[in-house]
Amino acid sequence: MLYTYYDVALAPNAAPAGTAVQLHGYVGDASSRQPFVEATVDVYFNPKGTAPRRAVDRVVTDEDGWFQRTYRPSTSGTYDIIAQESGEPRGTKMATFTARSTNETVRSGGISATKNGFTAKMRVTTQDVVTGVEPQTVYLDAGILSPGGNTSFDPRPYLVTRRAEGQYSAGEFLTPGWGRWSTRYSAVQTYRMSAVHPAGLYDVYYNYKIGHYDDYWDRDGSGTLRNLYVKMPHKPITTIRVRRASTTTISASSTSFTGSRNIELKGSVRKVQLISAAKAANRWAPNTAVKLYFDPAGSAGPVYKKTVRTNSSGVYRTTAKTSKSGKWIAKYVGSSLQAPSERSVTITVR
């Protein structure tokens, strides 16, 4: 049978779609407390929805009955794990994965430490953030990659800002939202972030202990599983970039005409800005550069045409000769603290 003192687990069991997660577990005899060595484990993925279940892997356990594999699921679903020993089915387990939407650049990093010859490992996955006036939820998804799981208390990864701004100091811990360990190998920590938080770089830390089994199977018959606790070093696991949102618009004086014509392109730029220590607003952006591209119909791709600047009211105007169908694209390129934005208008030339 599949030894189920601790279930087969994903580490982490939620993450941005397409990022690395580790599936691992033990296979052994529950009565004799002995591992199944070189047992076959078939792995299937059953996507959420109507798509059929598919086989993804076949792995073999090591001398401790432990197996592990890394996957990059693109959608939510369930991993079905079917173990065999000496050609006989020994049980089935499931591990469910939740795919988070990927809106910005994904950031992932690992941390490890060794004690008495045992190395404990953790991976944290998150993504860059574009903040607005209203708060949004930011997820830090953590997975323990080594046998043993989390410590007996409840620490989770946390965020520290590098930049002082508003009511925050450089190096300050952000106040977290809800968080939990959903299994011994998978945790999530959330933050509610808005534009009142400093823009810039944030480091992710976890400087607590991680458990590592030095005898999962209780071979000496003591009746306990020995779990060695390994202190993690105080250093950044990964770094995210937080930028405030912007909005760019564009319109054309005429969008459908015959033959070549000079048309007026007009638009605006607004930026979410910190206006006091505890308040942000979406305001017009004066004297801001806007790059204009023309993307002709077909597969040629956008071509840069000119750069214009907004006036004191955050509005720009320019004239552009247009002889082909396609799109005019206005781009604000952003900065290290402000996110880029773009918009397009379609032109039809008959």
What pLDDT does 153 receive? 59
The CATH number of the domain covering residues in 1-101:
2.60.40.730
Q: Where are the domains of the chain?
A: 1-101, 103-243, 245-349
CA dist., res. 275 & res. 23, Å (int)? 46
Task: Indicate the DSSP class of residue 23.
Answer: E
With beta carbons less than 8 A apart as the criterion, state whether 77 and 14 touch. no
Superfamily of domain 245-349: SOR catalytic domain (2.60.40.730)
Q: Do domains 1-101 and 103-243 have the same CATH topology?
A: yes
Q: Which two tokens stand for residue 278?
A: 């505890």
Which of 84, 62, 193, 75 minimizes the C-alpha distance to 130? 193
Q: 147-175 as b/e, with b when 16 or more CB fall inside 10 Å?
A: bbbbbeeebbbbbebebebbebeeeeebe
Residues in the chain with pLDDT < 70? 1-7, 150-153, 219-220, 223-225
8 A C-beta contact, residue 319 and residue 261: no
Is the bond leading into 12 cis (omega within 30 degrees of zero)? yes
Question: What confidence tens digit (pLDDT) does each residue in 121-132 have?
Answer: 999 999 999 999
* Euclidean distance between CA atoms 76 and 45, whole angstroms: 10
**Which residues, other chains included, contact 286 with Cβ-Cβ below 8 Å and sequence gap of 6+?**
310, 311, 312, 313, 314
d(C-alpha 96, C-alpha 21), whole Å: 11
86, 52 Cβ separation under 8 angstroms:
no
Residues 6 or more apart whose CB falls under 8 angstroms from that of 220 comprise: none
pLDDT of residue 2: 43
Distance CA 55, CA 223 (A): 37
What per-residue confidence (pLDDT) applies to 31?
A: 74
How confident is the model at residue 223, as a pLDDT? Answer: 66
The pLDDT tens digits of the residues spanning 157-179 come to 999 999 999 999 999 888 889 99
- 103-243 belongs to CATH 2.60.40: yes
Q: How high is the pLDDT of residue 3?
A: 42
Q: Which of 227, 268, 274, 273 is CA-nearest to residue 250?
A: 268
pLDDT of res. 7: 64
Write the DSSP assignment of 80-104 as a string of letters.
EEEEEETTEEEEEEEEEEEEEP--S
